[in-house]
A = this chain, B = another copy of it.
Amino acid sequence: MFGFTYFAPTKVVFGKDTEKQAGALVRACGGSRVLVHYGGSSALKSGLIGRVVKSLDEAGIFHVELGGVVPNPHLGKVREGIELAKQNDIDFLLAVGGGSVIDSAKAIAYALADPDHDVWELFQGKRSAVGCFPVASILTIAAAGSEMSNSCVITNELTGEKRAYNDDLARPRFAVMNPDLTKTLPDYQTESGCADIMMHTMERYFTQGGNMELTDEIAEAVLRTVMKYAKILHADPQNYEARAEVMWASSLAHNDLTGCGNDGGDFATHMLEHEMGGMFDVTHGAGLAAIWPSWARYVYKECMPRFVRYAIKVMGVKDEGQGDEQIALEGIAKMEEFYRSIGMPTNMRELGITPTEEQILEMARSCREACGGKQGSAKVLYEEDMANIYRMAL
């Protein structure tokens, strides 16, 4: 096992009606002028933004609102937020939404702490952040885990580049999690979220070394729990307990708990999907489900012990002497079966995209560039491998 740093300072306030505590929580963090950032009009229409704003008003906190964040959030909206925040002397970013809204708020927060530089340079790898204004969230989608993570993924809509920047400076101050708020999500979004949560755990699980038994056990606990409740939600979207299990899993899957002691994880599936998301604007979790089986079949031979353990402890494959390779392949097949059972795709056709060979080569080139040349721990992937996996996933 490797040494590690674990730092998850976000205060989680979990349960029914917790959004009503927004004002008091911002106040306790020292915030006095808040940008309330959100996505589509559903947050307005449902009355959620109204309740949040009321709570801020009751705490005597100044606020301005900026909606319109789209999935795979745009740099243009980030720039709009930066301007609005500067005009209003904003000192606290409150994201009301899912990963896209939280990431957009994090990007604005980086920019406010360093007004002399263009924030996109962080995502281009040209420099590191020198600070970050405080960010917090009221979560409405269980998926990205951005509510406790140091991740931030922004898409430059002008170039089609989808890029990540990770820094502990952006770990949110608090995360309000009311499972009821996720009940209005379309099933496809709920299940994409479940696929994303699982992948955050699996990216850290399929590694060549450094694995820690306690981390593995917790990762397997997260995966089994999400699978169980994803299936329940597919049949019964209003189930509060199931919403709660998935919501809490979304945070634990990506606050680094499931990676303690390992080598940093694989994350090739995420990098491959980012290019699909940048080029075709697909739903992130569904994109991950569409590419993972091809990635798994491409790499499993080089990471056999992990695929065998996964098959047995997560997917419930019985070891009946069929041999490691067969067990590993049965585990991958059972994962595809699970994806289909909750309406998730297992390849790009089922995802609804059919990239041309030229587009595949372009995605592989861009992916290689975003990864700094190569990616992966289960198996190190180069540009050619990336293109091969895209082709397998057609």
A3 and B14 contact, CB distance less than 8 A? yes
In the bound complex, residues from chain B placing their C-beta under 8 Å from that of A12 are 4-7
Choose, from A48-56, A114-122, A214-222, the stretch at the interface. Answer: A214-222
A9 to B8, CA, bound (A): 6
A244-B212, A245-B212 as given contacts; A260 in contact with B14, CB under 8 Å: yes
- Which chain A residues numbered 212 to 237 have a C-beta less than 8 Å away from chain B? 212-214, 217-218, 220-222, 224-225, 228-229
A224-B217, A260-B248 as given contacts; A6 in contact with B14, CB under 8 Å: yes
A214 and B248 contact, CB distance less than 8 A? yes
In the bound complex, residues from chain B placing their C-beta under 8 Å from that of A213 are 225, 228-229, 245
A217 and B212 contact, CB distance less than 8 A? no
A108 at the interface (CB under 8 A from B): no
Interface size, A (range): 35 or more
A220-B221, A221-B220, A244-B1 as given contacts; A214 in contact with B252, CB under 8 Å: yes
A8 and B5 contact, CB distance less than 8 A? no
A16 and B1 contact, CB distance less than 8 A? no
In the bound complex, residues from chain B placing their C-beta under 8 Å from that of A225 are 213-214, 217
A214-B249, A214-B252, A249-B214 as given contacts; A13 in contact with B5, CB under 8 Å: yes
In the bound complex, residues from chain B placing their C-beta under 8 Å from that of A222 are 214, 217
A367 to B248, CA, bound (A): 35
In the bound complex, residues from chain B placing their C-beta under 8 Å from that of A124 are none
A7 and B11 contact, CB distance less than 8 A? yes
Contact of A5 among B11, B217, B221, B241 (CB under 8 A): B11
Q: How many copies does the complex hold?
A: 2
1/0 contact trace for A1-38 toward B, CB 8 Å? 11111111101111110100000000000000000000
A261 at the interface (CB under 8 A from B): yes
A260 to B177, CA, bound (A): 13
Within the complex, the shortest CB–CB distance from A37 to chain B, in Å, comes to 23
In the bound complex, residues from chain B placing their C-beta under 8 Å from that of A11 are 5-7, 9
Select from chain B the residue with minimum beta-carbon distance to A7: B11
A248 to B211, CA, bound (A): 13
Select from chain B the residue with minimum beta-carbon distance to A16: B3
In the bound complex, residues from chain B placing their C-beta under 8 Å from that of A8 are 8-9
Within the complex, the shortest CB–CB distance from A8 to chain B, in Å, comes to 6
In the bound complex, residues from chain B placing their C-beta under 8 Å from that of A5 are 11-14
Within the complex, the shortest CB–CB distance from A139 to chain B, in Å, comes to 13
A221-B214, A248-B214 as given contacts; A18 in contact with B6, CB under 8 Å: no
Select from chain B the residue with minimum beta-carbon distance to A224: B217
In the bound complex, residues from chain B placing their C-beta under 8 Å from that of A2 are 15
In the bound complex, residues from chain B placing their C-beta under 8 Å from that of A228 are 213
Within the complex, the shortest CB–CB distance from A170 to chain B, in Å, comes to 15
1/0 contact trace for A155-194 toward B, CB 8 Å? 0000000000000000000000000000000000000000
Other CB < 8 Å A-B pairs besides A1-B241, A3-B16, A217-B225, 4 of them? Answer: A14-B261, A214-B221, A214-B252, A248-B260
A residues in contact (CB < 8 Å) with B: 1-9, 11-16, 18, 212-214, 217-218, 220-222, 224-225, 228-229, 241, 244-245, 248-249, 252, 257, 260-261
17 inter-chain pairs at a CB distance below 8 angstroms, sorted by A residue, are A2-B15, A3-B13, A3-B15, A3-B18, A4-B14, A5-B12, A7-B11, A8-B8, A8-B9, A212-B244, A212-B245, A213-B229, A214-B249, A217-B221, A217-B222, A220-B221, A248-B260
